[in-house]
Amino acid sequence: MVKVCHLTSVHSRFDARIFSKECKSLVEANYDVSLIVADGEGDESVDNIKIYDVGSELGRINRITKTTKKIRKLASKLNCDIYHFHDPELIFLGLKLKRHGKKVIFDMHENVPADIEEKAYINPVLRKIYSFCYRKLEIYAVKKFDGIVSTRESINERLKGYNSNIVLVTNFPIVDKNIEKERNHSPNICFAGAVVPNWQHKEIITSMENIDNIKYELAGPVDDVYLDELKDLKAWNKVNYYGKLPFSQVKEIYKKGTIGVAIYVYCKNMDGKIGNLANTKLFEYMNWKIPIICTDFSLWKRIVVDELQCGICVNPYDVNAISNAINYLLENQDIAMQMGENGRKAVLSTYNWDTQAQKLVMLYHKITNN
């Protein structure tokens, strides 16, 4: 049996993409799967996946230096056939494993060069320098690795000339074959995920000021400073904030969801006004028959409005447009319900993890047999 090891210094052991989707799919394809993490929660075996913990370190520098060194030692000790890493800071480890004759896959969750250019804590001049240097390192490494897995077409387009084994594996959801959608007589907007400024929560809450009998069901981790800013908004009394919830409880919110919001700012990491499919939010709403209000990225608009008719796209900075979209869906319940049905049908047929797992396993088979 081929031994596979996934490596992460940043993500949690039960990360949805790494553990629940990729590792489990590889187990089902008869691979012997291990996962090295750095969260300080100890070793365990779950669903035939052996989880090894190298312990957590405080601070970004310690994580990049000390944690990476620990992961390298443990990875070498496990002596697997294929190593699949998920964080840019593990590139040098991946190159070292490659020099030792191992098969190596780099899983690119983000467009890192673009992401660096938008890091507010880095000096603006240094951002461009760091982004340029990382881009050069990335190209060098991509040429060496046996496979590249990415979450967005823009990454594939940028790097396809450097590696023939680059595969788009998007974060489509693991579909609930049977859902128990509850008829909710109290209209609401729902969102579960990182409560950060880029998701335009201020604009969403402000858009609710003149809408009666509406609630914003909001769940996810948030910075205390940003939370205080949200609480100062006039319509905060219409928000039910639950904090960070396990996905089992998020499902309870989706069961009663009236409208799902995915309103993200235009930025380089979203390919400007094009957008990408790296985030699962659209498809989670579709899975639960929830009509969507989302940013009018050209890619999202093509799917949500032109192809599926499962929601409304808006300018993310236009509070009036957001408010009008909410009112339209509340006042046209038959249309909203049909949008939900359209989304659910599309997820069952196309936008689901099973379609992506097939591509991942095919890449593994190709690499194993080379």
- CATH code where residue 278 lies: 3.40.50.2000
- pLDDT higher than threshold 70 for residue 184: no
Stretch among 124-128, 232-236, 309-313 having the lowest mean pLDDT: 124-128
Verify that 358 and 263 share a domain, yes or no.
no
Inside any domain, residue 181 = no
The mean of the pLDDT values for the chain is: 94
Range of the domain at 240: 188-349
Q: Note whether residue 322 is domain-resident.
A: yes
Considering the domain architecture, whether residues 79 and 126 belong to the same structural domain is answered as yes
Per-residue pLDDT at 38: 95
DSSP helix/strand/coil, 316: coil
Residues 164 and 223 in one domain: no
pLDDT at 93 over 90: yes
Of the ranges 38-52, 92-106, 180-194, 230-244, which one carries the lowest mean pLDDT score? 180-194
Q: How many domains does the chain have?
A: 2
**Is residue 12 in a domain?**
yes
Angle, nearest 10°, between helix axes 91-99 and 124-144? 20
Tell me the average pLDDT across 238-246: 94
Give the per-residue pLDDT at 178.
81
Asked which of 151-155, 232-236, 292-296 is least confident by mean pLDDT, the reply is 151-155
Instruction: Please indicate, yes or no, if residue 262 is contained in any of the structural domains.
Output: yes
Structural tokens at position 94: 């991946």
Burial of 150 (0-12, 13-18, 19+ CB in 10 A): buried
**Residue 249 resides in a domain:** yes
Whether residues 105 and 254 fall in one domain = no
Total-model pTM = 0.88
The one-letter amino acid code at 1 reads: M
One domain for residues 332 and 359: no
Mind listing the pLDDT tens digit for each residue in 331-345?
999 999 999 999 999
Instruction: List C-alpha distances in Å: 79 to 23, 297, 342, 346.
Output: 18, 44, 47, 42
For residue 114, give Cα distances in angstroms to 97, 162, 287, 321, 366.
Answer: 27, 19, 30, 28, 30
Q: Beta-strand (E) ranges in the chain?
A: 3-7, 32-37, 44-46, 49-53, 82-85, 103-108, 147-150, 166-168, 188-192, 215-219, 239-241, 259-262, 292-295, 311-314
Whether residues 209 and 127 fall in one domain: no
Mean pLDDT of 57-67: 79
Residues 242 and 300 in one domain: yes
Asked, for residue 156, whether it belongs to a domain, the answer is: yes
Residue 180 has pLDDT above 80, yes or no: no
Instruction: For 141-193, give the DSSP string.
Output: HHHHSSEEEESSHHHHHHHTTT-S-EEE--------SS------SS-EEEEES
Closest of 84, 123, 133, 172 to residue 352, by C-alpha = 172
Share of the chain above pLDDT 90, in %: 82
Parallel/antiparallel/unpaired status of strands 82-85 and 103-108 = parallel
Query: Looking at the structure, do residues 142 and 195 belong to the same domain, yes or no?
Result: no
For residue 121, the 8-state DSSP code is T
* Same structural domain, 165 and 199: no
Residues 62 and 168 in one domain: yes
Q: Distance (Å, rounded) from C-alpha 106 to C-alpha 89?
A: 11
Pairing verdict, β 292-295 and 147-150: unpaired
What whole-number distance in Å separates Cα of residue 24 and Cα of residue 237?
A: 41
Say if CB 187 and CB 333 are below 8 A apart: no
Residue 323 covered by a domain: yes
- Residue 256 half-sphere exposure, CB side, CA atoms within 13 Å? 14
Task: Kindly state whether residues 163 and 199 are assigned to the same domain.
Answer: no
Angle between helix 319-331 and helix 333-349 axes, rounded to 10 deg: 100
Residue 177 in any domain: the answer is: no
158 and 226 both lie in a single domain = no
